[in-house]
Structure 1
Amino acid sequence: MAWWRRRRGQRAPGSGSDLSAARAHLAEFVSTRRGVEAYVEPATNITATTVVLIAHDGEWTRRALPSRPVAFEVARGLDVPVYDVNLTGYPARMREWTARQRRPKAR
Protein backbone atom coordinates (compact mmCIF):
# COMPACT_ATOMS: atom_id res chain seq x y z
CA MET A 1 0.00 0.00 0.00
CA ALA A 2 1.58 3.21 -1.16
CA TRP A 3 0.42 5.40 1.73
CA TRP A 4 2.46 3.29 4.20
CA ARG A 5 5.76 3.94 2.43
CA ARG A 6 8.02 6.71 3.64
CA ARG A 7 8.45 9.73 1.47
CA ARG A 8 11.79 9.99 -0.30
CA GLY A 9 14.49 11.20 2.07
CA GLN A 10 12.45 10.57 5.23
CA ARG A 11 14.17 8.64 8.01
CA ALA A 12 12.81 6.09 10.42
CA PRO A 13 12.47 7.43 13.98
CA GLY A 14 15.67 7.10 15.95
CA SER A 15 17.93 6.42 12.97
CA GLY A 16 21.22 8.12 12.14
CA SER A 17 21.34 11.74 13.22
CA ASP A 18 17.90 11.33 14.84
CA LEU A 19 19.51 8.91 17.30
CA SER A 20 22.27 11.41 18.08
CA ALA A 21 19.71 14.17 18.60
CA ALA A 22 17.61 11.93 20.85
CA ARG A 23 20.66 10.97 22.93
CA ALA A 24 21.67 14.63 23.28
CA HIS A 25 18.17 15.69 24.34
CA LEU A 26 17.88 12.89 26.89
CA ALA A 27 21.35 13.60 28.30
CA GLU A 28 20.48 17.29 28.65
CA PHE A 29 17.25 16.41 30.48
CA VAL A 30 19.12 14.15 32.93
CA SER A 31 21.85 16.73 33.57
CA THR A 32 19.40 19.54 34.33
CA ARG A 33 16.93 17.69 36.58
CA ARG A 34 17.23 15.50 39.64
CA GLY A 35 15.78 12.12 40.47
CA VAL A 36 15.34 11.09 36.83
CA GLU A 37 14.14 7.59 35.94
CA ALA A 38 13.76 6.05 32.47
CA TYR A 39 10.75 4.07 31.25
CA VAL A 40 10.99 2.12 27.99
CA GLU A 41 7.76 2.00 25.99
CA PRO A 42 7.22 -0.72 23.36
CA ALA A 43 6.74 -0.01 19.68
CA THR A 44 3.18 -0.08 18.40
CA ASN A 45 1.65 -0.02 14.92
CA ILE A 46 1.61 3.76 15.20
CA THR A 47 4.74 4.66 17.19
CA ALA A 48 8.36 3.57 17.46
CA THR A 49 9.96 2.30 20.67
CA THR A 50 10.36 5.27 23.01
CA VAL A 51 12.11 6.22 26.22
CA VAL A 52 10.30 8.45 28.69
CA LEU A 53 12.45 10.24 31.25
CA ILE A 54 10.60 11.34 34.39
CA ALA A 55 12.13 13.74 36.92
CA HIS A 56 11.46 13.78 40.69
CA ASP A 57 8.67 16.36 40.27
CA GLY A 58 6.94 14.44 37.45
CA GLU A 59 8.23 16.55 34.57
CA TRP A 60 8.84 14.24 31.64
CA THR A 61 10.13 14.01 28.10
CA ARG A 62 9.84 11.30 25.45
CA ARG A 63 12.05 10.40 22.48
CA ALA A 64 11.72 7.70 19.81
CA LEU A 65 14.54 5.19 19.41
CA PRO A 66 15.05 2.48 16.79
CA SER A 67 14.53 -0.62 18.97
CA ARG A 68 13.96 -1.93 22.47
CA PRO A 69 17.61 -3.00 22.99
CA VAL A 70 18.82 0.44 21.85
CA ALA A 71 16.32 2.11 24.17
CA PHE A 72 17.61 0.17 27.17
CA GLU A 73 21.22 0.80 26.11
CA VAL A 74 20.66 4.56 25.79
CA ALA A 75 18.82 4.75 29.14
CA ARG A 76 21.50 2.73 30.96
CA GLY A 77 24.14 4.96 29.37
CA LEU A 78 22.50 7.92 31.11
CA ASP A 79 23.21 6.23 34.45
CA VAL A 80 19.59 6.38 35.63
CA PRO A 81 17.26 3.60 36.81
CA VAL A 82 15.52 1.96 33.83
CA TYR A 83 12.12 0.27 33.86
CA ASP A 84 9.94 -1.54 31.34
CA VAL A 85 6.67 0.39 31.36
CA ASN A 86 4.74 -2.83 30.58
CA LEU A 87 5.91 -4.26 33.90
CA THR A 88 5.83 -1.18 36.14
CA GLY A 89 3.39 1.30 34.61
CA TYR A 90 3.97 5.04 34.90
CA PRO A 91 4.58 6.73 38.24
CA ALA A 92 1.72 8.81 39.65
CA ARG A 93 3.93 11.91 39.73
CA MET A 94 3.99 11.92 35.91
CA ARG A 95 0.19 11.99 35.68
CA GLU A 96 0.00 14.65 38.42
CA TRP A 97 2.54 16.89 36.65
CA THR A 98 0.66 16.54 33.34
CA ALA A 99 -2.63 17.41 35.07
CA ARG A 100 -1.05 20.52 36.63
CA GLN A 101 0.19 21.64 33.21
CA ARG A 102 -3.33 21.39 31.76
CA ARG A 103 -4.96 23.54 34.46
CA PRO A 104 -5.54 27.18 33.55
CA LYS A 105 -3.16 29.52 35.32
CA ALA A 106 -4.74 31.75 37.98
CA ARG A 107 -4.11 35.43 37.39
Structure 2
Amino acid sequence: MAWWRRRRGPASPRGGADLSSARAHLADFVASRRGVEAYVEPATNITATTVVLIAHDGEWTRRALPSRPVAFEVARGLDVPVYDVNLTGYPARMREWTARQRRSKER
Protein backbone atom coordinates (compact mmCIF):
# COMPACT_ATOMS: atom_id res chain seq x y z
CA MET A 1 0.00 0.00 0.00
CA ALA A 2 1.08 3.57 -0.70
CA TRP A 3 1.68 4.63 2.89
CA TRP A 4 4.47 2.05 3.23
CA ARG A 5 6.52 3.48 0.39
CA ARG A 6 9.46 5.66 1.25
CA ARG A 7 10.55 8.67 -0.70
CA ARG A 8 14.03 8.43 -2.18
CA GLY A 9 16.28 11.47 -1.93
CA PRO A 10 15.47 14.95 -0.60
CA ALA A 11 11.98 16.31 -0.92
CA SER A 12 11.18 18.37 -3.96
CA PRO A 13 9.78 21.90 -3.64
CA ARG A 14 6.21 21.74 -2.35
CA GLY A 15 3.45 21.96 -4.87
CA GLY A 16 5.84 21.62 -7.78
CA ALA A 17 6.73 25.31 -7.58
CA ASP A 18 9.05 26.13 -10.42
CA LEU A 19 12.40 27.86 -10.21
CA SER A 20 11.29 30.97 -12.09
CA SER A 21 8.44 31.73 -9.67
CA ALA A 22 10.77 31.25 -6.69
CA ARG A 23 13.34 33.59 -8.27
CA ALA A 24 10.65 36.18 -8.98
CA HIS A 25 9.32 36.07 -5.40
CA LEU A 26 12.81 36.38 -3.92
CA ALA A 27 13.76 39.22 -6.29
CA ASP A 28 10.56 41.08 -5.36
CA PHE A 29 11.34 40.69 -1.65
CA VAL A 30 14.86 42.09 -2.14
CA ALA A 31 13.58 44.99 -4.26
CA SER A 32 10.91 46.01 -1.75
CA ARG A 33 12.95 45.82 1.47
CA ARG A 34 16.30 47.08 2.66
CA GLY A 35 19.22 45.33 4.33
CA VAL A 36 18.29 41.88 3.00
CA GLU A 37 20.54 38.87 3.63
CA ALA A 38 20.15 35.33 2.30
CA TYR A 39 20.50 32.13 4.34
CA VAL A 40 20.69 28.77 2.56
CA GLU A 41 19.06 25.90 4.45
CA PRO A 42 20.00 22.30 3.65
CA ALA A 43 17.55 19.73 2.34
CA THR A 44 16.14 17.27 4.85
CA ASN A 45 14.05 14.13 4.48
CA ILE A 46 10.97 16.33 4.75
CA THR A 47 11.92 19.62 3.07
CA ALA A 48 13.82 20.67 -0.03
CA THR A 49 16.82 23.00 0.02
CA THR A 50 15.53 26.48 0.78
CA VAL A 51 16.67 30.09 0.75
CA VAL A 52 15.48 32.36 3.54
CA LEU A 53 15.69 36.09 2.90
CA ILE A 54 15.76 38.28 6.01
CA ALA A 55 15.30 42.06 5.87
CA HIS A 56 16.85 44.63 8.22
CA ASP A 57 13.80 44.53 10.53
CA GLY A 58 13.66 40.72 10.70
CA GLU A 59 10.85 40.21 8.21
CA TRP A 60 11.57 37.05 6.27
CA THR A 61 10.45 34.82 3.44
CA ARG A 62 11.44 31.30 2.41
CA ARG A 63 11.37 29.51 -0.94
CA ALA A 64 12.30 25.95 -1.87
CA LEU A 65 14.86 25.39 -4.61
CA PRO A 66 16.01 22.25 -6.41
CA SER A 67 19.51 21.94 -4.89
CA ARG A 68 22.15 23.55 -2.71
CA PRO A 69 24.24 24.84 -5.66
CA VAL A 70 21.12 26.33 -7.24
CA ALA A 71 20.17 27.95 -3.92
CA PHE A 72 23.57 29.64 -3.62
CA GLU A 73 23.48 30.68 -7.28
CA VAL A 74 20.00 32.22 -6.93
CA ALA A 75 20.94 34.01 -3.70
CA ARG A 76 24.18 35.38 -5.17
CA GLY A 77 22.25 36.52 -8.22
CA LEU A 78 20.14 38.74 -5.97
CA ASP A 79 23.31 40.65 -5.04
CA VAL A 80 22.82 40.24 -1.28
CA PRO A 81 25.13 38.70 1.35
CA VAL A 82 24.70 34.91 1.38
CA TYR A 83 25.27 32.63 4.38
CA ASP A 84 25.11 28.92 5.06
CA VAL A 85 22.68 28.61 7.97
CA ASN A 86 24.57 25.55 9.27
CA LEU A 87 27.62 27.76 9.83
CA THR A 88 26.01 31.01 10.99
CA GLY A 89 22.60 30.18 12.41
CA TYR A 90 19.70 32.61 12.06
CA PRO A 91 19.97 36.25 13.12
CA ALA A 92 18.14 37.25 16.30
CA ARG A 93 16.11 39.84 14.41
CA MET A 94 14.31 37.02 12.55
CA ARG A 95 13.17 35.40 15.80
CA GLU A 96 12.19 38.78 17.24
CA TRP A 97 10.10 39.66 14.17
CA THR A 98 8.35 36.27 14.29
CA ALA A 99 7.62 36.73 18.01
CA ARG A 100 6.16 40.21 17.35
CA GLN A 101 3.93 38.78 14.61
CA ARG A 102 2.63 36.07 16.94
CA ARG A 103 1.92 38.59 19.72
CA SER A 104 0.03 40.88 17.35
CA LYS A 105 -2.16 37.98 16.15
CA GLU A 106 -3.03 37.02 19.73
CA ARG A 107 -4.53 40.45 20.39
Name the CA shift for 1:5/1:19 in 2 (closer, same or farther; >3 Å).
Answer: farther
1:13 Cα deviation from its structure 2 partner? 1.5
Structure 1 gap segments, 5+ residues each:
7-11
**Whole-Å Cα distance in 2 between the matches of residues 23 and 55 of structure 1?**
17
1:37 Cα deviation from its structure 2 partner? 0.1
**Whole-Å Cα distance in 1 between the matches of residues 13 and 103 of structure 2?**
31
1:104 Cα deviation from its structure 2 partner? 3.4
Letter in 1 for 2:58: G
Which residue in 2 is equivalent to 1:55? 55
Which stretches of structure 1, 4 residues or longer, exceed 2 Å deviation after superposition?
Answer: 1-6, 104-107
Structure 2 gap segments, 5+ residues each:
none
**Whole-Å Cα distance in 1 between the matches of residues 13 and 6 of structure 2?**
14
- Aligned-residue identity in percent: 90
**Whole-Å Cα distance in 2 between the matches of residues 5 and 22 of structure 1?**
27
Which residue in 2 is equivalent to 1:2? 2
Size of the aligned set, in residue pairs, is 101
Which residue in 2 is equivalent to 1:84? 84
**Whole-Å Cα distance in 2 between the matches of residues 84 and 106 of structure 1?**
33
Q: Cα deviation per residue 1:16-72 (whole Å; 9 max; x = unaligned)?
A: 861100000000000000000000000000000000000000000000000000000
TM-score, with normalisation over the residues of structure 2? 0.85
**Whole-Å Cα distance in 1 between the matches of residues 21 and 52 of structure 2?**
15
TM-score, with normalisation over the residues of structure 1? 0.85
Normalized per residue, the structure richer in helix is 2
